[in-house]
Amino acid sequence: MKVWIPHQAGLNLMGELPPDVTVEVFEHADRLPSEVADVRVWVPPFLGGTDATALLRELPDLAVVQLLSAGADAWAGRTPPSVTLCDARGVHDPSTAEWVVTAILAQLRAFPAFARAQAERRWANEGNTPTDELTGKRVLIIGAGSIGTAVRNRLAPFEVSFTLVARTARPEQGVHAVEELPQLLPEADVVVVLVPLTDQTRGLIDKEFLAAMPDGALLVNAARGPVAHTEALVAELGTGRISAALDVTDPEPLPADSPLWAMPNVLLTPHVAGTVRGMLPRAYRLVGDQVRRFAAGQPLINTVVDGY
């Protein structure tokens, strides 16, 4: 059987595979590495988007799509019933959690403002105005999956208090349901959003969501851009009442004329939370494991059901 992967480096990162498995590098959509027959496992490019899904119609023997992203929103509902869709749950936990912690600290300690002052060669301690601190903050994590757990573990040494929210409540684990957000948001100093993009989460961060956050609160979106209603986000952030750290926007790339670029209370990064040097080794360890499972007729992990 054949396996298509998008990186040359993956050939040496997957570990030993069964002798009847042939791995080919498929980097360019307009140049197939070989005939499409007998391609059983396909690993699309990282953040390949909906354009990549068009190839599904051309792979008659395909059985597994193994994504390199934690989110499956571009693929869920587009794969044929005969194809098992798997995400990269766990691969991006360390890097995304690090980005969240970095973004929170950067915003609370006013690093973006200091970076602008550095670019202007200006010693920005006029009046010695104190910055905020993370210690003692109330952190609301919306998305209590593996990345949410990784964020909580990394924030715990800062002596913060946590409230976790998931699609459904898990009282025995102290996890609240999404329906409880109107009561939880007013009590949060930092709101971290890590949910997958589904029909239920699209537009979750809307006018009412933002209005429920208390004055001075920080919104951190490391999920997907469409989880936030862009017009509502621009309107609320434009008041200066709250601040935000955004790794994702809607649309992406963010248009040059978007007001978000110039807002002093907004930290923007271009969807890079998971893009680190350690990503490929972790990702291809997962790919290799999945290929070995499939070849042996064993159950696959990280299967996506109903977008989750």
Residues with active-site annotation? 224, 252, 271
Q: How far apart are the first and last CA of the chain?
A: 28
d(C-alpha 78, C-alpha 223), whole Å: 21
Q: Are 24 and 3 in contact (CB under 8 A)?
A: yes
Token pair listed for 124: 């920005």
- Is the peptide bond between 253 and the residue preceding it cis, with omega within 30 degrees of 0? yes
Number of helical H runs and strand E runs in the chain:
7, 12
Q: Are 3 and 291 in contact (CB under 8 A)?
A: yes
261: left (phi over 0), alpha (psi -120 to 50) or beta: alpha
Q: Are 304 and 79 in contact (CB under 8 A)?
A: no
Residue 272: CB atoms within 10 Å: 11
Tally of CA atoms within 13 A in the half-sphere of 282 that contains its CB = 18
Three-class SS state of 12: helix
Q: What type of residue sits at position 40?
A: R
d(C-alpha 222, C-alpha 232), whole Å: 17
d(C-alpha 164, C-alpha 152), whole Å: 9
d(C-alpha 31, C-alpha 10), whole Å: 18
For tokens 């956050």, the residue is: 213
